[in-house]
Structure 1
Amino acid sequence: MMIELQKKLQKELKNNLSFWLNQGVKKDTKHFFSEVSIDGIPNKNAPLGVMYLSRILYGASAAYQLVKDSNYMELATAAFVQLLEFENPVGGYYWAKNTSNKILHDAENINMAQAFVLYGLLEYAKLKPSLQLDEIIKKQVDFITNTLYDLENSGYIDGFTENWILGEAPTKALGTHLHLLEAFVKLYEYEKTEKTKVLIEELITIITQKFITKDTYDCLHRLTPNWNVLTNEVWAGHNAECSWILCNAASNINNEKLLNECNKLSLKMMKGVLDNALDKNGGVFNVLQNNMPTETVKIWWVQAETVLGLLNSYKITNEIKYKNSAIELINYISRNCIAKSGEWYTEVFSNGQPNKSIPIIHFWKSMYHTIRYYTEVTKKLR
């Protein structure tokens, strides 16, 4: 059974990657379409975001390591070259550009994009290490730790202008902290310094102490600079994603105390996902209110992250129920979430039909959750 499952996942991965070679790239320029409809029609007027590019850089780099096809090396290099066009001369990288090359800015999410830039660069460095790339990586790390860090209250503060001046409504976001944690783990894998280990330990502590409720074990999405809770939604997807990323980070730095804490917390977070977000027709809802779903659709990334959260729970406990639930959700994804083109639908209704009004790739959806899903599931199901 497991061999057949692995074969199925490998086939899905290759089909998914083929989509990016055939429909995600402008053949004449090797630049990327940033939006493609469910019918395969590119929106040539859609803006291109640095987070979108960074995720392609990560996904194509990871893909090459998985399938050893030089096409993905070329895809990663094309993403790297285009990413450098977004470098901000005063530090970091711009949020996005429109088709007229005008800079677009998003004060609430720009820092999360900086995390993904670092994440993508580090994955690419596994393919093409160089002194130039090391310098680019170091520059981004220094920028993040020197500019985005809150010296007064700790953590990383959002709300900067395009020129990195803090605006009037600064906040602290789960997305920034969680994806910086991922990026710093990749940095630790790359260079194994004590300085990076300390950054990871601090981020794990901040996320577990500030961004997860003590009673329901739900993620909080946005706080004030001094850690007061702002208006919040409960997302099953972020609960699942956070649960396994925390454990992975603690494991990578071999901090047994933190790993033990994260393992216990992870199981509590995943219990809430299993109790409150599962659809009787298969799949997992995202937004919850009073322990009940508020949606009628299943979103692509939530399915992927829940599988990884379940497999992490199985790793912690060795309880077969978690593995069985993960396999059931993997099969649901295979049956319902993947288009004939190989790419995943953005949303699927409870009846199993895709939401055709939403593009199949777009500003927030490129080669991240799906490629990471195949990478991690392949490792965890061995």
Structure 2
Amino acid sequence: MNKLYQEVKRELTEHILPFWMKLKDDENGGMVGEVDFHLQKDEKADKGGIVTARFLWTFSAAYRVTGEATYLTYADHLYHFLVEKVYDHEDLGLFWLLDYKGDPKDTSKHIYAQAFGVYALSEYYRASKNENALKLAIELFKVIEEKGFSKKRNAYREEFDRQWNAVSNEKLSENGVLAEITMNTHIHILEAYTNLYKVWPNGELKERLHHLLEIHYKRIYDQKSKFLGVFFNENWESIADVQSFGHDIEASWLIDEAIKTLNLEKEEYINMVVDIAYNIADYAIEDNGSLMNEEVDGEIDRTKIWWVQAEAIVGFYNAYERTKDESFLKLVHSLWDYTKENIIDKREGGEWYWSVDVKGNPTERNICDPWKASYHNGRFCLEIMERMIVD
């Protein structure tokens, strides 16, 4: 196990973080918005609101876990960019997209993006003790609740224009549907609120976390199949035959993190966490140890995506901690071996490929863009490091 810890720590500190640190934009703020598959930087590429928050979370958490002061300087840089440029001081909330100079380009507000703001700002507060960061995290929490939660639907709504008028959920819908409610947004609100609760154990926030866990158990999780639903209409009816293996195993440990943070001993919730992990292990793991992407209308997509492998390692390690079933530990090691061999980009100046096909050939997709950042693989490293120190 010590070998895994050392390899993961080395991957974080000697490969992942140094790659992203080279993208710091000292002139315009934030990080350079795009690195293509051929490792060419586009310094005039757009900068995403979500990706900025993800960078802020990563460098904040990296400082908190390692104590390396350099990481905090990057977190400070990203915090100022988020507050000064990504945050809408007129109408509240975080913008979806900025141009390379930091001027708003897509001013729409998505609850998913606001959740990442809460997640990043609460983590930055954990690292820096900057009270203004905590205040903004709390403000975004209130925005999510006031603008985003629908009592009628008992769900968080998705997409809005700049002034918070509801619009069609184009940004988080796919597979030929327009979803009024998504699993993706709900698991990331849960993730964000859990992190905020660690530094702000407020009564209303606690109530919302309990409510989110209930939504996941009663609405999103299918107790028969053990999969999570992905896309729903306004009545919580599933509108697509999709199983997202990566999201399921990610949700398993994020749900458990909320359970632990609230000190809950609710058997049905703990069983859900474990059953999701067993289901994905039984259904979606390849013989080579990797995790497949998804199943749509009965057809399995066996593409191996970078974030799916990263989240699976954390999810299965969490399941091992819950159950002490050694089979989960074997999955952790086989996933890591596969990732080292196939997903990690061994080219000079590379990071992790977006994905590889069934033969292990890399997909020619960006290494950095508004959706690909340091968050999933950086977090996998940090989670394993923290958990193994505790062990």
TM-score where L is the length of structure 1: 0.92
**CA distance 1:64–1:131, change in 2 (3 Å):** closer
Q: Is the 8 A contact 1:159 1:171 kept in 2?
A: no
Name which of 300, 321, 327 aligns with 2:306.
Answer: 300
Q: Is the 8 A contact 1:60 1:73 kept in 2?
A: yes
TM-aligned CA deviation for residue 16 of structure 1: 0.9
CA distance in 2, matches of 1:130, 1:269: 37
Q: Is the 8 A contact 1:276 1:293 kept in 2?
A: no
2:47 is matched with 48
Which amino acid counterpart does residue 345 of structure 1 have in structure 2? Y
1:316 is matched with 322
Structure 2 unaligned blocks of 5 or more: 170-178
Q: How does 1:35-74 map to 2 (within 5 A)?
A: 35-74=34-73
1:209 is matched with 218
Q: Is the 8 A contact 2:243 2:295 kept in 1?
A: yes
CA distance in 2, matches of 1:350, 1:236: 16
SS at match of 2:74: helix
TM-aligned CA deviation for residue 211 of structure 1: 1.1
Identity %: 25
TM-aligned CA deviation for residue 279 of structure 1: 2.1
TM-aligned CA deviation for residue 45 of structure 1: 4.0
CA distance in 1, matches of 2:27, 2:91: 32
Pairing 1:98–2:99 present = yes
1:5 is matched with 4
Q: Is the 8 A contact 2:112 2:189 kept in 1?
A: yes
Cα distance per residue 1:210-254 (max 9 Å; x no partner): 112232121222222232222242110011011111111111101
TM-aligned CA deviation for residue 130 of structure 1: 3.2
CA distance in 2, matches of 1:293, 1:256: 36
**CA distance 1:380–1:102, change in 2 (3 Å):** closer
Cα distance per residue 1:248-293 (max 9 Å; x no partner): 1111101111xx2222112322233222222223311111146662
CA distance in 1, matches of 2:130, 2:271: 40
SS at match of 2:295: strand
Name which of 198, 201, 223 aligns with 2:232.
Answer: 223
Structure 1 unaligned blocks of 5 or more: none
CA distance in 2, matches of 1:361, 1:279: 27
CA distance in 1, matches of 2:204, 2:295: 38
Which amino acid counterpart does residue 61 of structure 2 have in structure 1? A
Name which of 341, 344, 350 aligns with 2:352.
Answer: 344
TM-aligned CA deviation for residue 185 of structure 1: 0.7
The farther-off stretch of 137-146 and 119-128 is 137-146
Name which of 360, 366, 379 aligns with 1:372.
Answer: 379
2:172 is matched with none
SS at match of 2:351: coil
1:145 is matched with 145
Q: How does 1:33-182 map to 2 (within 5 A)?
A: 33-84=32-83, 85-88=85-88, 89-99=90-100, 101-105=103-107, 110-167=110-167, 171-182=180-191
TM-aligned CA deviation for residue 30 of structure 1: 4.9
2:174 is matched with none
**CA distance 1:47–1:315, change in 2 (3 Å):** same
Aligned length: 374
TM-aligned CA deviation for residue 138 of structure 1: 2.2
SS at match of 2:329: helix
**CA distance 1:37–1:167, change in 2 (3 Å):** closer
TM-aligned CA deviation for residue 154 of structure 1: 2.0
The farther-off stretch of 115-124 and 267-276 is 267-276
Pairing 1:200–2:195 present = no
SS at match of 2:304: strand
CA distance in 2, matches of 1:131, 1:69: 21
TM-aligned CA deviation for residue 21 of structure 1: 1.3
TM-score where L is the length of structure 2: 0.90
Q: Is the 8 A contact 1:18 1:342 kept in 2?
A: no
Q: Is the 8 A contact 2:242 2:297 kept in 1?
A: no
TM-aligned CA deviation for residue 52 of structure 1: 0.3
Name which of 262, 268, 282 aligns with 1:261.
Answer: 268
Q: Is the 8 A contact 2:288 2:338 kept in 1?
A: no
CA distance in 2, matches of 1:276, 1:106: 37
**CA distance 1:166–1:105, change in 2 (3 Å):** same
Which amino acid counterpart does residue 97 of structure 1 have in structure 2? L
